[in-house]
Chain A
Amino acid sequence: MTTRSRDRWRRTWREFRSRSLAVAGLVIVVTVIVVGAFATIDSYLFDAELITTLYYDPNNPQFVPLQEPSVDHPFGTDSLGRDVLARTIYGAKISIQVGVTAVTIAATIGSIMGILAGYAGGYVEMAIMRFVDVMLGFPALVLAIGVVAVLGFSLQNVIIALGFVYVPQFARIGRSTAISVAEEEYIDAARAMGYSDTHIVFREVLPNSISPLLVQASLLMAFAIIAEASLSFLGLGARPPTATWGQMVASGSDYLEQAPWLSIVPGLAIFLTVLGFNLVGDGLRDALDPRESSERRF
């Protein structure tokens, strides 16, 4: 990294830190990621032994169903007799996994496409941008539902679907930064010095695209998490016994009056997590460019 960009990051962080809402968002995001990471490690490496030892097994229906929240079960038990807190913790795993992987896929494919379009221009650009226009012609969630309908209902397919539908957002950003960077004088200088296109793209264009991509990634993370929850709520996401927040809200909705906590708790978890990512995204954008107005695209 050049000194120039290191300085800028330092300045950004200072800006970011001065915004209390952004910091609050960061705290939420870090908390959810830590919880999600714990659940991920526990489930893949220890077969849920850790959480079972420390607390309760999230997937084992071992208690009296529909217990009210108590000291023993702070969020009560669900209709099958599983601890709701344990399942909420494991739900973080799915939300974070989907958010991170889907957004990474979309960001990688999208920014490569966008940078390529912006840098190469001509027919390449036209083809890519027409494709982006077409993709943006679909409401994101509706397209994701269509993709999942064909691929089948599973966690993996939700990730693929969301990774696919968020490509255009990144492609647009990639393209616009590529174009603006390509117009800079130092690119011409680099070219004049005989650097290859690959070198220029990787050394100059990409680093300069990172901050807008980062902002977009954070905001889309919020969206991917809501979208995953919506798909799960509709029964089109990861299937039981896998605990996902959306599906917990859905199955709790049968007991809305009898046991409202079943829906309220996982819904709050979604809300706070999404709010966290939104706050971080907003804060990051303002910190990167404090003058920019707060218009957003979804």
Chain B
Amino acid sequence: MKRGFLRYVTIRILQTIPVLVGISMVVFVIIHFAPGDPVVNRLGIQATEENIQELRRAYGLDQPLYIQYLEWLSGILRGDFGRSLTQGGRPVADLIRSRLPATLFLAVSSLFVSVVIALPAGVLSAVKKNTLTDYGVSVGALSGVSIPNFWLGLILILLLARILGVLPAGNYVSPAERPIAALEHVVLPAITVGTAYAALLTRQTRSAVLDNLDTDNVRMAKSKGLAPRRILTHHVLKQSLLPVITVAGLQFGYMLSATVVVEQVFAWPGLGRLIWLAVRQQDYPTVQGTVLVIAFIFVMVNLAVDLAYSYLDPRVSAA
């Protein structure tokens, strides 16, 4: 079994490579077609034809597209994402590195919030299938995915930060420096990002638990007269966790999208604000680098979830 798993890991990792290459191509091509000539933009209105040609050569922009792509890609692989057009020529890699902790902190906190909401709600809903509780949870979950997160964030700020004054309206504090304050500051943004995600997970938990309530194991346990609570914790929940984790991974992109928007609401200094500012200032190298990194994180999370799943469930790697 162990060997089978290793083989599976290798195959999955190899499969990820073409996807990542494809992603880099899409990002490169999209940004390549950005309006305006980067050289002319750099030289400003005093650009002469001679200067333009010279700079074009200096930047390798006279090369065929695929060469430019390969050079760009080899830069990326060496951790060179180019330089920002607006932030004083700062390396994009630096900018991303300085913003990454805030985004990861928010994403992890949101994941925590959504799991804390989703697991009990989903289990409850499944156990009490077709009751008013189930119905309520379903409507709640549907509302959760329908609520625009930026709006939810504003409402939370209005109610909890401005009117009641019980929680700060976002405003990132580094968890490494002041852990308690950091947690306090992350509560509202995490609820905002986590709500829709919780809704997705609730539905998944519910259907996973329902599926597992119906297995032979459970029927057997029931016939043996085990307490329902014990059956639930020992047989059903354990089995249900796998598909829930899978969905959590698959939908992680949704979480990343949500943080991009919600960071804006809470002035959260993460990748979302970086990309927002870069888009507003037409700072294409920064847009390019940030989109690439976000997509990379997404693909990696999916890979990790996939591998975790196959590790926990040997049937997958055997197949």
A residues whose Cβ falls under 8 Å from a Cβ of B: 21, 130-131, 133-143, 145-150, 152, 222, 226, 229-230, 233-236, 246, 249-250, 253, 256-257, 260, 263-264, 267, 270-271, 274-275, 278-279, 282, 293-298
Binds A, one of B6-14, B58-66, B89-97, B280-288: B280-288
Is A296 touching B150 in the complex (CB atoms < 8 A)? no
Given the interface pairs A150-B33, A233-B264, A257-B158, the reply to whether A133 lies near B19 with Cβ below 8 Å is yes
Is A133 touching B22 in the complex (CB atoms < 8 A)? yes
Most buried by B among A137, A264, A294, A297: A137
8 Å CB contact of B257 from A131, A141, A249, A263: A141
Is B22 touching A137 in the complex (CB atoms < 8 A)? yes
**What are 14 A-B contacts with C-beta separation under 8 Å?**
A137-B19, A139-B295, A140-B253, A142-B294, A142-B295, A145-B260, A146-B30, A233-B148, A249-B150, A256-B158, A257-B158, A271-B147, A275-B142, A295-B247
From DSSP, what is the main secondary structure of chain B's interface residues?
helix
User: CA of A229 to CA of B264 in the docked complex: distance in angstroms?
Assistant: 14
Encode contact with A along B216-255: 1 for CB under 8 Å, 0 otherwise. 0000000000000000000000000000000100110110
Encode contact with A along B4-46: 1 for CB under 8 Å, 0 otherwise. 0000000000000011101101110011011100000000000
What's the nearest-Cβ distance from chain B to residue A237, in Å? 12
Residues of B within 8 A of A295 (CB): 203-204, 207, 247
Is B151 touching A271 in the complex (CB atoms < 8 A)? yes
8 Å CB contact of B148 from A131, A139, A229: A229
Is B291 touching A293 in the complex (CB atoms < 8 A)? no
Is A139 touching B276 in the complex (CB atoms < 8 A)? no
B183 at the interface (CB under 8 A from A): no
Residues of B within 8 A of A236 (CB): 279-280
From DSSP, what is the main secondary structure of chain A's interface residues?
helix
Given the interface pairs A147-B30, A229-B148, the reply to whether A139 lies near B162 with Cβ below 8 Å is no
Is B279 touching A21 in the complex (CB atoms < 8 A)? no
Is B143 touching A275 in the complex (CB atoms < 8 A)? yes
Which B residues between 256 and 279 are near A, CB-CB below 8 angstroms? 256-258, 260-261, 264-265, 275-276, 278-279
B211 at the interface (CB under 8 A from A): yes
Given the interface pairs A133-B22, A148-B279, the reply to whether A138 lies near B291 with Cβ below 8 Å is yes
Residues of A within 8 A of B155 (CB): 264, 267
B187 at the interface (CB under 8 A from A): no
Is B150 touching A230 in the complex (CB atoms < 8 A)? yes
B181 at the interface (CB under 8 A from A): no
Is B22 touching A130 in the complex (CB atoms < 8 A)? yes
Please give the number of chain B residues whose Cβ is less than 8 angstroms from any Cβ of chain A in the complex.
61
Is A253 touching B154 in the complex (CB atoms < 8 A)? yes
Residues of B within 8 A of A246 (CB): 148, 150
Is A149 touching B23 in the complex (CB atoms < 8 A)? no
8 Å CB contact of B207 from A131, A134, A294: A294
8 Å CB contact of A137 from B23, B210, B260, B278: B23
What's the nearest-Cβ distance from chain A to residue B266, in Å? 11
B residues whose Cβ falls under 8 Å from a Cβ of A: 18-20, 22-23, 25-27, 30-31, 33-35, 139, 142-143, 145-151, 154-155, 157-158, 162-163, 200, 203-204, 206-207, 210-211, 247, 250-251, 253-254, 256-258, 260-261, 264-265, 275-276, 278-280, 282, 284, 287, 291, 294-295, 298-299
User: CA of A21 to CA of B134 in the docked complex: distance in angstroms?
Assistant: 14
Residues of A within 8 A of B146 (CB): 222, 226, 271, 274-275, 278
Residues of B within 8 A of A140 (CB): 253-254, 257
Is B26 touching A267 in the complex (CB atoms < 8 A)? no
Residues of B within 8 A of A226 (CB): 146, 148
Sorted nearest first, the 9 A-B pairs with minimum C-beta distance are A134-B22, A267-B151, A141-B257, A139-B253, A275-B146, A149-B279, A274-B146, A293-B207, A139-B257
Given the interface pairs A137-B299, A275-B146, the reply to whether A235 lies near B280 with Cβ below 8 Å is yes
What's the nearest-Cβ distance from chain A to residue B183, in Å? 24
Is A150 touching B35 in the complex (CB atoms < 8 A)? yes
Is A298 touching B251 in the complex (CB atoms < 8 A)? yes
8 Å CB contact of A138 from B23, B261, B265: B23
Across the two chains, which residue of chain A brings its CB closest to B151? A267
Residues of A within 8 A of B204 (CB): 295
